[in-house]
Amino acid sequence: MSKPLAALRHALDFMPSPSPEQPGLVVRDPYGYSSALLVIPPLLTPCLGCFDGRQTELDLREMLVRLTGSLEVGEIVRQLAGTLSGSGFLEDETFAAMRDERRREFAESPVRGPAHAGSSYPAEPGPLRETLAEYMRDGSAGAPDGAAGDLFAIAAPHVSLMGGWRSYAAAYGRLGPEHSGATFAILATSHYGEPGTFGLTRKSFVTPLGESPSDPRLADWLASRGGGAAIMEDYCHSFEHTVELQVIFLQHVLGPGVRILPILCGPFAPSLANGGAPEEDEGVKRFLDALGEMRAREGDSLFWILGVDMAHMGARYGDPFSAVAGEGRMIDVAARDEARIGRILACDPAGFWDLVRENRGDDLKWCGSAPFYSFLKAAPEARGELLRYEQWNIDEQSVVSFAGMAFRKA
């Protein structure tokens, strides 16, 4: 009996090729275990279904014979299977070796390097400073107003700077020199982290603007008090953009030496599925309790940053419709976003979570719901202010919503 083909990894990104000269399906590894970027030709795209861990080479050959009309498919079989394996896209020994090597490299590195410089923002210090200065000048909601001393948190997007600069500027425009001595606890979305986990790191974050040290004392304290939900040196930090984009704004506004406490918040998916509160998971409860205890203990020495987006609607996100910012279905989405934002500004975690789970699984697909909820549980005395709300077409058929917010002590 023929041995099953190795399974295609589930954690891969698939998208239509943007090049008319090279049509097909683009495949890449968002985790960065592999740097390969493959374009699978349209004829071979159906063959990816054979790599499910159950079908064999004979099944693949049979499909190729039907697709090509030729019995001579042996070389195609070898090339397709070999290319997928060599690229690290199959659950096999080649991928396992790549994964272990990348994780080892990250664990041994003294710093977390700039994973998105040159793609999400300029890679050179001069152009990056100019870009951020332009954003802050044109989008900031007036002069910083934190001098009264009661501003202790802001929420900003983690969407592309090109799409979200006005909301970034509205939030970071509230920071002033009086905040420069704080440790910035950054609660950010973990798009690829395990559900119900919180990723920590002791590593400094390096960007084109300089190096921002992490606070190892607080990271170690959270790791010891947070139980099994706390993951120290979470590999997701090596490639996730949600903290990195906050760091470049912090460095621009307050200087490169700003001290940070990066925390990646995995989704509370089980709670959405079963209709319960996130803290019904013992691991989540233990970490949220530790976060609240840290907030009470550290007081004004901590400033909180939320790196969060909101709704994700349209074809890109699996919806059977196209979405246009501010039009059609997105008008109703804006109203539902507004209701959730209202609960956030009122610092009502239970009310917020009731709205997130109202349609069992969050049909608005708020990727920032876990960081928002974690913050509301850690800082129940806050009162919030909406600075700016936006919807942006990330492509012609899909929309992301996000906002800039500020939080003060009640």
Per-residue model confidence as pLDDT tens digits over 78-129: 999 999 999 999 999 999 999 999 999 999 999 999 999 999 999 999 999 9
361 confidence band (pLDDT: 50, 70, 90): confident
Q: Are 91 and 123 within one domain? A: no
Residue 279 in any domain: the answer is yes
- In the listed set 104, 122, 154, which residue is the last one of a domain according to the structure? 104
Q: What are the structure tokens assigned to 291, written together?
A: 């976060």
Q: What angle do CA 332, 338, 341 make, to 5 degrees?
A: 145
Residue 52 in any domain: the answer is yes
- In the listed set 41, 72, 104, which residue is the last one of a domain according to the structure? 104
Backbone angles phi, psi at 266, to 5 degrees: -70, 160
Q: Are 372 and 399 within one domain? A: yes
Q: What is the pTM of this model?
A: 0.91
- In the listed set 104, 136, 170, which residue is the last one of a domain according to the structure? 104
Q: Are 129 and 245 within one domain? A: yes
Q: Are 69 and 129 within one domain? A: no
pLDDT at position 249 is 98
Burial status of residue 267 (CB atoms within 10 A of its CB: 0-12, 13-18, 19 or more): buried
Position 364 pLDDT exceeds 50? yes
Q: Are 219 and 197 within one domain? A: yes
* Other residues' Cβ atoms within 10 Å of the Cβ of residue 359: 11
Position 354 pLDDT exceeds 60? yes
Lowest mean pLDDT among 142-156, 170-184, 251-265, 292-306: 142-156
Residue 274 in any domain: the answer is yes
Q: Are 213 and 69 within one domain? A: no
Q: Are 185 and 63 within one domain? A: no
Residue 21 in any domain: the answer is yes
Dist CA 231 CA 196 (whole Å): 11
Q: Which residues pair with 393 in a beta bridge?
A: 399
Q: Are 81 and 220 within one domain? A: no
CATH value at residue 293: 3.40.830.10
Residue 1 in any domain: the answer is no
Which residue range is the domain that position 33 belongs to? 13-104
Cβ neighbors of 370 (< 8 A, separation 6 or more) are 189, 190, 265, 266, 267, 268, 278
* pLDDT, average across residues 146-175: 91
Residue 65 in any domain: the answer is yes
| Average pLDDT score over the chain | 94
Residue 6 in any domain: the answer is no
Q: Are 224 and 161 within one domain? A: yes
Look at the block and give the residue holding tokens 């159906």. 46
pLDDT at position 147 is 44
Residue 5 in any domain: the answer is no
Q: Are 149 and 251 within one domain? A: yes
Percent of the chain residues past pLDDT 70, beyond the cut: 97
Q: Are 292 and 179 within one domain? A: yes
* pLDDT, average across residues 119-140: 92
Q: Are 34 and 89 within one domain? A: yes
Q: What are the structure tokens assigned to 210, written together?
A: 């300089």
Position 144 pLDDT exceeds 80? no
For the chain, what is the domain count?
Answer: 2
